[in-house]
Amino acid sequence: MLQEIIRTRRAEIEESRQRTPEEVLAERARRLEPPALEAFLTLPGPSVIAEIKYRSPSHGPFRCQLPVTQIAQGYIEGGARALSILTDSTFFGGSLDNIWQVYERLHSPGEIAEEEEQEKQGVFRVPLLRKDFVLDRYQVIESRAAGASAYLLIVAALDRTLLRDLLLYGEEVGLEALVEVHDPYELEKALECGARIIGVNNRDLRTFEVDLKTSFDIARRLEGETGLVRVAESGISEPSQVLELWDAGFDGFLIGTSFMDTSEPGKALSEFVDELEERSGVNLRKRDS
């Protein structure tokens, strides 16, 4: 499945490049100021990255099919410190325009003029992660031009040369990278290439099997490493799992399925965060240090 997705995405990248040249994207990107993902993930307590996705190859359609801005608003009110937005259309029902819609809603001065009014309306300028199979520099500047703060790099889909090139180009255009690994070999590759935000996917993209032991294994291997932000991904559905992973050294927790498979993802997240706050003793809805 992974190789099929990669082949499809490469063809789609070329189509996008023909429609919108890179220089157009670069000019658009210069006008945007997305917030930094790392700053939000390193706030006190476990930071939830709430994901918006409408379907997946392993699950099919999710219960919630609300407009992306409505889901985003609910998530932010519920306590998300960042949002992950699936943009692959063929396999996940997403769109790059979904990021732009959310960015506009959160950053438009016409919508929210003052910080105090922001808080009253429950709207905060949280960072947006583009979740996709990024294989080309074009997608990096495309992400930045859409208002993303960060983009996903899947080590299993990239060789060392390309991974390093995409990381360096991201830095050049002011975009952070969440570098996703699944095993010790991929972790070594990510660190060698200069990754700072390490995502551990508990789902094996080749078999789609999920095992939280993957995160605990990688956490042990990262003991003593400094200057890294750690994010656990996939298979997380209970606050107790977040707290165990937080205790193991993780900063962020990317959660989508357990929220999107409800009629009100924002409400589901809010209840999840309520329990996390009660058990951790940290105000997780605070958006500054």
pLDDT-derived band at 140, boundaries 50, 70, 90: very high
Given this model, what pLDDT does residue 186 score?
97
Given this model, what pLDDT does residue 119 score?
52
The mean predicted confidence, pLDDT, of the chain is 92
- The pLDDT tens digits of the residues spanning 15-67 come to 999 999 999 999 999 999 999 999 999 999 999 999 999 999 888 999 999 99
Given this model, what pLDDT does residue 182 score?
95
The amino acid sitting at 17 is R
Specify if 286 maps to a domain.
no
CATH (domain of 88): 3.20.20.70
- The pLDDT tens digits of the residues spanning 231-267 come to 999 999 999 999 999 999 999 999 999 999 999 999 9
Given this model, what pLDDT does residue 121 score?
45
Specify if 288 maps to a domain.
no
Specify if 289 maps to a domain.
no
Report the C-alpha dihedral over residues 206, 207, 213, 214, rounded to 10 degrees. 0
Specify if 45 maps to a domain.
yes
Specify if 245 maps to a domain.
yes
Specify if 287 maps to a domain.
no
Specify if 49 maps to a domain.
yes
Q: What average pLDDT does the segment 86-97 reach?
A: 94
- Structurally, the chain folds into a number of domains equal to 1
CA distance 133 to 4: 11
- Domain carrying residue 234: 2-29+36-280
Given this model, what pLDDT does residue 122 score?
44
Given this model, what pLDDT does residue 209 score?
86
Angle at which helices 160-173 and 184-192 cross, to 10° = 50
Specify if 217 maps to a domain.
yes
The amino acid sitting at 151 is Y
pLDDT-derived band at 124, boundaries 50, 70, 90: low
CA distance 131 to 151: 6
